């Protein structure tokens, strides 16, 4: 079954700390993996798109890694800010189509 699973479900950290979010997928064949950030009450916004040939990709304080062999990805947030409080969703296209399979997300809360 094509699935995208994320952990942890929720995470609380203090401002300035680093954190890492995990994503495991069973979607096959694999073409790319995306991380989205969704603020409360808003639509998801793309952070990164990684193809199977990319191991690491950065977008400011966000760094995504991908291991296509183990079908795992992680999103590392450095020096967290209050504005990082949001849900982070891992997404994989289904069977090289335009259909995206979404993980259930990790809810991150950053406190001062």
Cβ atoms of 34 and 103 within 8 Å: the answer is no
| 105 binds another protein per the rule CB under 8 A | yes
Per the structure block, which two tokens stand in for 41?
A: 């009450």
Per the structure block, which two tokens stand in for 99?
A: 């259909």
Which residue's CB is nearer to another protein, number 6 or number 80? 6
| 23 binds another protein per the rule CB under 8 A | no
Site for another protein in 63-92 (CB under 8 A): 89
One of 11, 15, 22, 32 touching another protein (CB under 8 A):
32
Q: Kindly indicate which of the ranges 19-27, 60-68, 69-77, 100-108 contains the residues binding another protein, using the contact rule CB under 8 A.
A: 100-108
Buried b (16+ CB within 10 A) or exposed e, 73-99: bbbebeebeeebbbbbbbbbbeeeeee
């Amino acid at each position: 079954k094509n699935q995208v699973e994320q952990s942890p479900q929720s995470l609380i950290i203090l401002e300035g700390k680093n954190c890492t979010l995990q994503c495991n997928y069973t979607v096959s064949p694999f073409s790319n993996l995306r991380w989205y950030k969704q603020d409360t009450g808003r639509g998801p916004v793309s952070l990164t798109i990684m193809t199977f040939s990319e191991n690491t990709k950065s977008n400011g304080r966000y760094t995504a890694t991908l291991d296509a062999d183990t079908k795992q990805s992680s999103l590392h947030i450095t020096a967290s800010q209050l504005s990082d409080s949001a849900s982070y969703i891992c997404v994989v296209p289904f069977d090289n189509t335009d259909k995206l399979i979404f993980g259930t997300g990790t809810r991150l809360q950053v406190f001062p």
